């Protein structure tokens, strides 16, 4: 699932009555239930740009698993996981330093040998990857007449900048890579880049290469003829019918563009302050007080896209009510629970600005005792955890971006 959502309430009850949340249908999707930008979204966007640029070429390349890769046990944290896709002459090596439900340590000093259909052996050296990192490395890649024999950086996209006789190839620096090197054919000197967020160089007069870090790539948007970089991981730049719009929890934001001047700055907005006051009513029940006039806030302050209620809690399940209506629920996963309030603003006003938060305790060391031959049963636990450590509200602004 790419974008989370909220389940409607059916005429006879909730659509989900089992072992999943009744209202929230988020499941840590790349774009959250209320439009939150998550790390998986930033990583997927980079991968999507790669597929857009190189997908037709990649799709025709069969997969080759080498050196027993098809026999790696999930519990094996020592063997480097990789696969090759190639048309026999050129292709890509996909490396993954991640395994579900297991910790895979960072890698250093690895090497990978690839043999092409013509018998040419290409050796990738200086391979390193941070824990949880992955990358796609090219070999025998055509850079508009220049052969890139191999690179320890991942291609992302190709740009045609207006007025330039050459194209720009954008590469990503994988986290933890030991040697960030481009190795070219013939007498073209190898190029090793550093760890700066943004670097660029020319390969003769044939092509420009731009290199960005993983962190900067996550804040990058590919434009027609260039790149734009927001200055906040939680900001989202997107194109709508009227041009470009930036959505951010900050009232002041910056955008860098390459080439410079390709995109203007976001129009500043007037910040608003929204408080959220917490009062404990019972061991597992809390009252959250919000300002009066939440509905008016969204009607009068058009730059406010939403107000995110952030709930840091410990327990099993969180339930958020407006009056007697369940508006959101959450299975605690250790992350701060976020609820967008825009769609409930008028209902919150009608309830006097009050929400009720209920936390179902997480029971540790549960034991079930059957006390009779009937259905009676008694649950005992070593500890019950139900606590709210913080509640605060964060406005989310949207602002037009000029060119």
Average pLDDT over residues 235-240: 92
Residues 229, 220 contacting (CB under 8 angstroms): yes
| β 325-331/255-258 pair status | unpaired
Q: Which pLDDT band, with edges at 50, 70 and 90, does 368 fall under?
A: low
Q: Which ranges of 184-232 does DSSP label H, i.e. alpha helix? A: 214-218
Q: Residue 17: is its pLDDT beyond 70?
A: no
- Tokens 């949880």, residue? 132
Residue 380: what pLDDT?
65
Residue 382: what pLDDT?
72
Residues recorded for the chain: 403
Average pLDDT over residues 347-369: 88
Residue 244: what pLDDT?
93
| β 207-213/167-173 pair status | parallel
Higher pLDDT, 382 or 251: 251
Q: Report the alpha-carbon distance of residue 180 to residue 124 in Å, rounded.
A: 11
* Cβ-Cβ contacts under 8 Å for 182 (sequence gap 6 or more): 148, 151, 153, 190, 191, 192, 193, 209
3-state secondary structure of 222: strand
Q: Report the alpha-carbon distance of residue 171 to residue 169 in Å, rounded.
A: 7
Q: Which pLDDT band, with edges at 50, 70 and 90, does 374 fall under?
A: very low
Higher pLDDT, 376 or 251: 251
Taking only the tens place, the pLDDT of each residue in 59-109 is 999 999 987 888 999 889 899 999 999 999 999 999 999 998 888 999 999
Q: Calculate the CA 267 to chain-centre distance.
A: 25
How buried is residue 348: exposed, middle or buried, by Cβ count under 10 Å (0-12/13-18/19+)? buried
Please give the mean pLDDT across all residues of the chain.
92
Strand partners, 335: none
Average pLDDT over residues 174-188: 97
Q: Residue 225: is its pLDDT beyond 50?
A: yes
Q: Which pLDDT band, with edges at 50, 70 and 90, does 397 fall under?
A: very high
Q: Residue 15: is its pLDDT beyond 80?
A: no
Higher pLDDT, 30 or 379: 30
Q: Which pLDDT band, with edges at 50, 70 and 90, does 158 fall under?
A: very high
Taking only the tens place, the pLDDT of each residue in 159-172 is 999 999 999 999 99
7-11, 127-131, 279-283, range with the lowest pLDDT: 7-11
Q: Which two tokens stand for residue 198?
A: 């943004």
Closest to 252 (Cα-Cα) out of 237, 238, 232: 232
CB neighbours (10 Å) of residue 362?
17
Give the DSSP letter of residue 21: -
Largest CA distance in the chain: 86
- DSSP-derived secondary structure for 298-327: HHH-TTEEEEEEEEEEESSEEEEEETTEEE
Taking only the tens place, the pLDDT of each residue in 185-204 is 999 999 999 999 999 999 99
Q: Which pLDDT band, with edges at 50, 70 and 90, does 369 fall under?
A: low
Residues 358, 208 contacting (CB under 8 angstroms): no
Residues 161, 118 contacting (CB under 8 angstroms): no
Residue 122: what pLDDT?
97
Residue 16: what pLDDT?
72
Average pLDDT over residues 273-297: 95
CB neighbour burial string for 47-70, b if at least 16 within 10 angstroms, e if fewer: eebbeebbeeeeeebeeeeeeeee
Average pLDDT over residues 263-292: 94
Q: What percent of the chain has pLDDT over 90?
A: 81
Q: Residue 301: is its pLDDT beyond 90?
A: no
Residues 192, 212 contacting (CB under 8 angstroms): no
Taking only the tens place, the pLDDT of each residue in 143-154 is 999 999 999 999
Closest to 248 (Cα-Cα) out of 398, 392, 31, 32: 398
Q: Which two tokens stand for residue 301?
A: 């302050």
Q: Report the alpha-carbon distance of residue 145 to residue 153 in Å, rounded.
A: 19
């Amino acid at each position: 699932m790419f974008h989370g959502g909220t389940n409607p309430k059916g005429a006879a009850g909730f659509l989900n009555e089992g072992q999943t949340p009744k209202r929230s249908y988020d499941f840590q999707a790349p774009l959250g239930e209320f439009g939150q930008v998550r790390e998986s979204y930033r990583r997927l966007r980079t991968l999507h740009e790669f597929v857009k640029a190189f997908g037709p070429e990649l799709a025709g390349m069969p997969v080759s698993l080498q050196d027993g890769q098809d026999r790696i046990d999930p519990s094996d944290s020592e063997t480097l996981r990789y696969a090759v896709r190639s048309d026999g002459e050129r292709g890509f090596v996909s490396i993954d330093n991640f395994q579900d439900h297991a910790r895979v340590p960072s890698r250093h000093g690895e090497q990978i040998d690839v043999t092409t259909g013509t018998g040419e052996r290409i050796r990738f050296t200086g391979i390193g990857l941070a824990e949880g990192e992955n990358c796609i490395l090219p070999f025998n890649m055509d850079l508009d007449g220049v052969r890139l024999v191999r690179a320890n950086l991942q291609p992302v996209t190709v740009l045609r900048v207006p007025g330039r006789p050459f194209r720009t190839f954008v590469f990503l620096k994988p986290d933890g890579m030991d040697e960030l090197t481009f190795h070219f054919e013939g007498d073209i000197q190898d190029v090793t880049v550093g760890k700066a967020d943004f670097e660029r160089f020319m390969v003769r007069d044939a092509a420009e290469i731009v290199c960005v870090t993983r962190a900067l790539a996550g804040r990058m948007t590919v434009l027609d003829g260039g790149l734009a970089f927001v200055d906040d991981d939680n900001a989202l730049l997107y194109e709508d019918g009227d041009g470009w719009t930036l959505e951010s929890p900050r009232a002041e934001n910056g955008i860098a563009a390459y080439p410079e001047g390709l995109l203007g700055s976001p129009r500043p907005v007037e910040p608003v302050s929204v408080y959220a006051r917490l009062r404990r009513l019972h061991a597992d029940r809390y009252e959250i007080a919000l300002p009066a006039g939440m509905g008016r806030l969204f009607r009068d302050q058009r730059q406010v896209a939403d107000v995110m209620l952030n709930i840091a809690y410990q327990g099993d399940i969180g339930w958020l009510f407006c009056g007697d209506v369940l508006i959101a629920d959450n299975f605690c996963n250790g992350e701060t629970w976020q609820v967008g309030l825009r769609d409930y603003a008028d209902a919150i006003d009608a309830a006097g600005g009050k929400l009720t938060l209920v936390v179902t305790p997480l029971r540790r060391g549960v034991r079930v005792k059957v006390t009779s031959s009937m259905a009676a049963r008694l649950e005992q636990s070593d500890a019950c955890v139900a606590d709210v450590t913080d509640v605060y509200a964060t406005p989310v602004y949207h602002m037009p971006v000029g060119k």
